Structure 1
Amino acid sequence: MSSGHRRSWWTLPSHQLWLDTESSRLLDFGTSLDHPAGGAVWLDDRGNPDLDHPAHTYITARMAHVHFLASLLGRPGSRRKADRVFDGLLTSLRDSENGGWFESSSDATSPDAVKNAYTHAFVVLAASAAAAAGHPDGRGLLDEALDIVAARFWDEQYGMCADTWTADWTELDDYRGINANMHMVEALLAAVDAGAPTIWRERAVRICDNVIGWAQENDHRIPEHFTAQWIPQLEFNSDDTANQFKPYGATVGHGFEWARLLVQASMVAASAQGHDYVESAKSLYHRAAQDGWQPGPTPGFVYTTDWSGQPVVTERLHWVLCEAIGAAATLARHTREDRYEQDYRTWWDVAAEYFVDHVDGSWHHEVDSNNRPAATVWSGKPDLYHAVQATWISRYAPSSSMVAALRDDSR
């Protein structure tokens, strides 16, 4: 169904201008991005460096990613920012002795340090953007990161990535998780678009096929936590429901994020198991919207639900709304179905009213069930990745990755 005589928002020059203005406002956030130890600093609510936090590798990679891509769009200043934080991935955050990347700048001397697939996925993503932007070390770092993924994380038997090793690669944890694999799909699609071998796209497809299968067996709610044999553990962290990276239950934002990624994958690859990626994306999207959306005078998405769709953690996280916007935009433009455009407008209305911080900059990373700023799950505003990408996914035609979408637009 089309929108009839009403023009879609993304065809309106005024809406495109709003998106461009908002992405620029976001990219201006932060008095300094540079951590004294190398890499990117954690930013507080006003954009000032919070040195109580070390330089986190995933934050460093995300900041490098968005600013390299912004440089492709001709945004002055972003390339210098990207180069400086990317240097941390080349130096202090890189384990020159054992290979791979530390989780943070404090891990080089920590006896309890580990190495995660989640972090390495973002290193791949940042290196892909660096390579696309022409950084002299971008392609080299991308190849190195993919070599680490192949040697340490990729499990050919299951067609998935393992999760957590000790820092010296001597012991692999039994936990397996969907979150790292989701970001690995995003990173691998970008890597191939940046020139990596197509085997990595094929591996991304295998991950997608597995996730679709698990979701179909679970009423389109995606299991997040698994054993080493990839058996779902639905009650995992039932006593730690608001965990930042491994919360109990179904994660609403991941339903949206997977929906978008499946559409992106469908543009460049076919399912090896015969799944219809777009139809699967629609199912994941509608389950996430049905379970997570809380209407009323203070509308928004809950963070997580139980396996019957009932809310568990009712705080609203900015990244969940960002992924809802991105999924709605992607499905609307790909399918031309009016319902996704309706949602797209609603989700952006909520973002503009409750999450965009016009006083201190960036977006509130968390609000409570009454849409008041909160910090139960997250503190500060360290992450531009989700919000900036929401503006770009809304602005540009769907593509297999943001690297492809912005690189092609800049030609």
Structure 2
Amino acid sequence: MTPADPGNWWTLPSHRSWLDTESSRLLDFGTTLDHPAGGAAWLDDRGNPDLDHPAHTYITARMAHVHFLGSVQGRPGSRRRADRVFDGLSTTLRDNTNRGWFESSADATSPDAVKSAYTHAFVVLAASAATAVGHPRGRELLDEALDTVDSRFWDERYGMCSDTWTVDWSELDPYRGINANMHMVEALLAAADAGAPELWRERALRICDNVCRWSAANEWRVPEHFTAEWIPQLEYNRDDVANQFKPYGATVGHGFEWARLLVQASLVAGGRDYVDAAQSLYDRAAVDGWQPGPTPGFVYTTDWTGQPVVTGRLHWVLCEAIGAAATLGRVTGEERYGSDYRTWWDVAADYFVDRVDGSWHHELDSHNVPAATVWSGKPDLYHAVQATWISRYAPNTSMLAALQPDSD
């Protein structure tokens, strides 16, 4: 056994116990997950279904993912919750006419409905977890989801995934984006860990190669938006800076998220070494995004010189900073990551963890007061639960691999 290092909390049995307790508290939030239409509901501040929202496919998939993996750890109730919402991916949310998956339960009758790589990445992720735990429809759904990614989204010429189609697959939007590809890397690594062909792992690595190249050419701020030919569009959405999925500028949390994913990918990357790139992305995100002072936290976005644009604090940004610090700290042994990790968990505990109504506040303003400018409610558990797991377990190619019984 590796001796505990008080400078690195993740080695302390007491801290690991705290993480286990927090992940359990999160998974207990919102025991009523089911949307009447099928799939998972968007949860409000107290964990009740907010039926002003339809059942979103990405939230359904993320909730199935975390509860399937909760069941791997022996969490009573998680498997039943996962099974119930996962059923929505085979019924309400699946397009039985055109194949693939709707964005939400409202899309079957919407003339403006689309199909996105972002949503399909999460379907792959959920199906990978379902396959790993032996769900009777897991493998079938994973194969179908990967076939859809292959035939509709994967672009062999560029080694990237396209972004958005019309619902009948008749027209492909010229926009290309990094966000969907980032989650596709996570999903494809998990799929390979669940037994999918190695082709998918290699495609995840090709995406990583491209992102490293573009980021290195942009002072390690990740370009988010591109043309159909994958030319960066740095001024995209300059007039919509707080967009939920396509904000202007550099998204601080994505710098951290890519840093973590690159370390995970490096474990199966053969001759590729992504750790230096991961450290550069981490450093840039930390320098640009961190706001010290009496109400510390990370801004949501910056411009291309590192100046804050959207100064509100989103919980997922802090979650990814925590995860990246834990991952790089374990891999490199550098003390600075342990210091960052302690600081950022302090911020989470002091401001984001909601001990009254449960879960974490999903958004705070620049004074760390709960807000709802970008997000309302506490829709799902994905980022916060994974922050506790990434902190708790040794780095691996996916959360699926990290949480296996012999990985502790």
- TM-score, L = length of structure 2: 0.98
Q: Report the Cα offset of residue 6 of structure 1.
A: 3.7
Instruction: Give 5+ residue unaligned stretches, structure 2.
Output: none
What does the per-residue CA deviation read over 1:191-244, in whole Å, with 9 as the maximum and x for residues that have no partner?
A: 000000000000000000000000011000010000000000000000000000
Q: Report the Cα offset of residue 377 of structure 1.
A: 0.3
Q: Which amino acid aligns with 1:209?
A: D
In structure 2, the residue matched to 1:386 is 383
Q: Report the Cα offset of residue 17 of structure 1.
A: 0.7
2:331 pairs with 1:337: no
Paired positions, count:
406
Q: Which amino acid aligns with 2:241?
A: T
Question: Partners in 2 of 1:5 and 1:115 — Cα distance?
Answer: 47
Question: Partners in 2 of 1:18 and 1:300 — Cα distance?
Answer: 22
The 5 Å alignment of 1:258-337 reads 258-270=258-270, 276-337=273-334
Instruction: Give 5+ residue unaligned stretches, structure 1.
Output: none
In structure 2, the residue matched to 1:172 is 172
Q: Tell whether the 8 Å contact from 2:5 to 2:11 is kept in structure 1 after alignment.
A: no
Q: Which amino acid aligns with 1:288?
A: A
2:309 partner SS: strand
The 5 Å alignment of 1:155-304 reads 155-270=155-270, 276-304=273-301
Q: Report the Cα offset of residue 11 of structure 1.
A: 1.6
Q: Report the Cα offset of residue 407 of structure 1.
A: 2.1
Bigger Cα displacement from structure 2, 244-253 vs 133-142? 133-142
Question: Partners in 1 of 2:211 and 2:100 — Cα distance?
Answer: 26
Question: Partners in 1 of 2:10 and 2:25 — Cα distance?
Answer: 19
1:165 partner SS: strand
Identity across aligned pairs (percent)? Answer: 81
Q: Tell whether the 8 Å contact from 1:72 to 1:410 is kept in structure 2 after alignment.
A: no
In structure 1, the residue matched to 2:396 is 399
Q: Tell whether the 8 Å contact from 1:132 to 1:407 is kept in structure 2 after alignment.
A: no
Question: Partners in 1 of 2:394 and 2:132 — Cα distance?
Answer: 18
What does the per-residue CA deviation read over 1:148-190, in whole Å, with 9 as the maximum and x for residues that have no partner?
A: 0000000000000000000000000000000000000000000
Q: Report the Cα offset of residue 409 of structure 1.
A: 3.7
Question: Partners in 1 of 2:7 and 2:166 — Cα distance?
Answer: 53
Q: Which amino acid aligns with 2:403?
A: L
Q: Tell whether the 8 Å contact from 1:58 to 1:103 is kept in structure 2 after alignment.
A: yes
Question: Partners in 2 of 1:372 and 1:309 — Cα distance?
Answer: 24
Q: Sort the Cα spacing of 1:26 and 1:151 in 2 relative to 1 into closer, same or farther, 3 A.
A: same
Q: Tell whether the 8 Å contact from 1:31 to 1:49 is kept in structure 2 after alignment.
A: no
Question: Partners in 2 of 1:131 and 1:194 — Cα distance?
Answer: 6
Q: Which amino acid aligns with 1:81?
A: R
1:242 partner SS: coil
Report the RMSD for the aligned CA atoms in angstroms. Answer: 1.3
In structure 1, the residue matched to 2:16 is 16
Give the 4+ runs in structure 1 shifted more than 6 A.
none
Question: Partners in 1 of 2:72 and 2:4 — Cα distance?
Answer: 35
1:348 partner SS: helix
